[in-house]
Amino acid sequence: KQEVTQIPAALSVPEGENLVLNCSFTDSAIYNLQWFRQDPGKGLTSLLLIQSSQREQTSGRLNASLDKSSGRSTLYIAASQPGDSATYLCAVPPHSGGSNYKLTFGKGTLLTVNP
């Protein structure tokens, strides 16, 4: 059974700081890994999707890396801004076995960027 863990659960940084969010998963047989952002009481916004064959993906100030063999992904946010404050979630679909449809989510990292 796939389990996804995100560390830290919460993070507070001053504006302008570079930061790293961590995501680990127990079953390395994945098709891809997706990072989402969720503002309080809102839906999820897809940030980046990394295919299992890729090592990293970049979008603006965001860079996500994937080390499938070790079951880890990181989301790097450069020059953080107060508008980056949100909960960041990672999720993986199964590659085989059991449910073929279930995205398994971590509990998220609550990020606060202080002005």
Partner 1 sequence: ETGVTQTPRHLVMGMTNKKSLKCEQHLGHNAMYWYKQSAKKPLELMFVYSLEERVENNSVPSRFSPECPNSSHLFLHLHTLQPEDSALYLCASSQDLPNTEAFFGQGTRLTVV
- Judged by the rule CB under 8 A, the positions of this chain that interact with partner 1 are 4, 31-32, 34, 36, 41-46, 49, 89, 91, 93-94, 99-108
Per DSSP, 94 falls in state: B
Specify the residue, 19 or 103, whose C-beta has the smaller distance to partner 1: 103
Least distance from partner 1 to the Cβ atom of residue 106, Å: 6
Specify the residue, 34 or 80, whose C-beta has the smaller distance to partner 1: 34
Specify the residue, 31 or 61, whose C-beta has the smaller distance to partner 1: 31
- Using alpha carbons only, give the angle 98, 101, 102 rounded to the nearest 5 degrees: 80
Q: What DSSP line would sit under 15-45, residue for residue?
A: TT--EEEEEEES---BSEEEEEEE-TTS-EE
Specify the residue, 81 or 99, whose C-beta has the smaller distance to partner 1: 99
Instruction: Identify the sign of the CA torsion 70, 76, 82, 84.
Output: negative
Diameter over CA atoms, the chain? 46
Least distance from partner 1 to the Cβ atom of residue 113, Å: 22
> Which of 89, 84, 61 lies closest to 73, judged by CA?
89
Least distance from partner 1 to the Cβ atom of residue 52, Å: 10
Least distance from partner 1 to the Cβ atom of residue 13, Å: 23
